[in-house]
Amino acid sequence: MLLYGAGSDLIKSELGAYGEKVLGSSSSYVQNNIGRYISNPQYYFQVNEDYVKNKLKVILFPFLHKGHWMRAGDMVGGEFSFKPPIYDINAPDLYIPMMAFGTYLVLAGYFLGITTNFNKHVTV
């Protein structure tokens, strides 16, 4: 949407304030309630370069996976818990899906820019 005219700066500032209010309230809602769905989000991002390389190999070529498919666990403080992704190739992670989504956005923008008459006013 393009806004031109004498009152466009006022309209843009009002829309910006409203957007900040909406995003701010939703951001605080997510931060306050994420524990309801994911107890420890940092657990799912504990990865290193070797983990990503091996996990992508398992995802793309599962028939080459020579290990077991069960997750590794430990007894910690008398409680059973699963090892984080950095120590267990079968552990779920959120790093690879987030990077895949980011790659999709970058490539989609790139190909839209190549194939169409893309200019900066389209994104404003």
Two tokens at 39? 């107890």
DSSP assigned state of 35? H
The domain ranges of the chain are 1-37, 40-123
124 pLDDT higher than 50: no
From CA 82, how far away is CA 73, in angstroms rounded?
4
Confidence at 8, pLDDT banded by 50, 70, 90 = low
From CA 39, how far away is CA 41, in angstroms rounded?
6
Instruction: Dump pLDDT digits (tens) for 53-108.
Output: 999 999 999 898 887 777 777 777 888 888 888 888 888 888 999 999 999 988 88
How many CA atoms are closer than 13 Å to the CA of 88, on its beta-carbon side? Answer: 18
Question: Average model confidence (pLDDT) for the chain?
Answer: 78
Region of 19 please: left (phi>0), alpha (psi -120 to 50) or beta.
Answer: alpha
Amino acid 113 reads G
